[in-house]
Amino acid sequence: MEFLECNIMISCEDGTSFYTVANTLSFLDEYVGRNIISAYIKVQNNEESLMLWFGSKETLLEALLNF
């Protein structure tokens, strides 16, 4: 599995993209307690590109571990 991108929307005007898992987790640590409107990561598994949606740091880690 290869991590491609993460996009996190905190509000309608504020969205951020990351290209490493470490940067994504650091951002989520800084914004603990704030609502996430939508968030997903794109991963590449063999020939297939997938989007995994999450709502918190915990659900992101769970998605990555269970993938």
In this predicted structure, what is the pLDDT of residue 35? 78
CA 11 to chain centre: 15
The pLDDT value recorded for residue 31 is 79
Q: What is the pLDDT along the chain (67 residues), one digit of tens a residue?
A: 788 898 888 776 778 888 988 898 898 888 777 778 889 899 888 888 889 888 888 888 888 887 7
What is the pLDDT, as a whole number, of residue 37?
Answer: 83
Q: Is the dihedral of CA 20, 8, 58, 2 positive or negative?
A: negative
Helix, strand, coil shares of the chain, percent, nearest 5, are: 30, 40, 30
β-bridge mates for residue 48, sequence order = 45
User: What integer pLDDT is reported at residue 38 of this predicted model?
Assistant: 86
Whether this model's pTM surpasses 0.85: no
- Residue 49's contacts (CB-CB under 8 Å, 6 or more residues apart) are 4, 42, 43
Per-domain residue ranges of the chain: 2-66
Residue tagged 């991590």 (tokens): 3
